[in-house]
Amino acid sequence: MLIKIDRKSIKKNPNAGKTVREVPAHATTTIKIYSNHPDLHKILPDRITQLIRFVSRSCSSKSLNSLNSNEFKEKPCLPPSFEFIFLAAPDEDINAIINDLVVWGVQLKDISYETNINYEQIHCLNPEPEYFYKYIDKKVKCNNCGKTFSYTKLEDDYGYDGENEYLIDNICPKCHCSECCDKLEFEKFNKSMVKK
């Protein structure tokens, strides 16, 4: 069975020929919460403290004499409010955190968050391809259970015969039968496919 290249998906790669690639390596989400509560970070429920790490806080008013001015940044705004900065996992559901804070009774004046992604350079032996492209999705039918599904749903696994490891491919996602359909062949790219 031939899986063809989607001609409409063919795009010129701006990094063609390069052997250095930048890949996302580490991401951090910074949450800034503005609240009237001076000790917000101390009253957060355990679920929140397990997800976000307290970094710092700053006070927005000089009228709070109990606070050491060296410990807090002063901002000219009244009434007093506190800015709390937390770090969270980049994939954490921020809306769920906000909802938990509200349920916990925390009075929020404002909240903001941003995610920063750091990239690392990887040196590759093979240069970047000249073009990007995708294959047309095609339905296949399992010869065992008769179910029809996208070829992208086919699974692979590895077996071991006591001496060597071998690949088991074209596993049906429904009945898990191996080699459940005709062997797939993927169309090879050539420049004549590019629209001029």
For residue 109, the domain's CATH number is 3.30.70
pLDDT at 43 over 80: no
Give me the percent of the chain exceeding a pLDDT of 70.
80
Q: Which of 121, 147, 169 is the last residue of a domain?
A: 121
Of 121, 147, 172, which one is at a domain's C-terminal end? 121
pTM score above 0.75: no
Q: What is the pLDDT of residues 131-186, one digit of tens each?
A: 999 999 999 999 999 999 999 999 999 888 888 898 888 999 999 999 999 889 99
Where is the domain boundary, 93, 121, 149? 121
Domain that holds residue 145: 2-18+128-193
Q: Which two tokens stand for residue 175?
A: 């009945």
Number of domains in the chain: 2
Which pair of structure tokens corresponds to residue 89? Answer: 């996992």
30 and 84 together in one domain: yes
Q: Residue 71 — pLDDT band, cuts 50, 70, 90?
A: very low
Q: Contact at 8 Å (CB) between 142 and 3?
A: no
Residue 29: CB atoms within 10 A of its CB come to 18
Indicate the pLDDT class of residue 115, thresholds 50, 70 and 90: confident
